[in-house]
Amino acid sequence: MKTAHAHRSVLATTVALSVLLLPGLASAYVGPGAGLSLLTALWGIVAAIGVALLFVIMWPIRRLRRRRKAAADESAARVAEPPMDETPAGHTDESPRPANDDRRV
């Protein structure tokens, strides 16, 4: 008895959905301007979502590349510096300026 009731319920639901989903008489006209506007808006939304997803995916990759570049630059800077024992004592790269020098450099 329950199976017959369940079968009728499924059949009634299927018929109701079919009637609701069938196209009826449409007394409307969508001109080419409105249609193109709708398509442009849809493509804009799709493009915005795509760019947002691309940004979210690329963000960790960009951070990783920046960290690797910074580490490589730091190691190159260490190699380029002369060892401390080769620099003469008291040697500086800048020559001292006289205290009363009024010239602008």
Q: Which pLDDT score, from 0 to 100, does residue 22 have?
A: 78
Q: Which pLDDT score, from 0 to 100, does residue 18 have?
A: 83
Tell me how many degrees the CA angle 56-62-64 measures, rounded to the nearest 5: 115
* Residue 16 vs residues 11, 26, 54: alpha-carbon distances, Å: 9, 20, 42
How far apart CA 31 and CA 43 sit, in angstroms, is 18
Task: Compute mean pLDDT per 10 residues along the chain, 105 residues long, and list them.
Answer: 78 87 74 89 97 95 92 79 58 58 56
Q: Which residue has the tokens 């990783």?
A: 64
What's the whole-model pTM score? Answer: 0.41
Q: Which pLDDT score, from 0 to 100, does residue 95 have?
A: 55
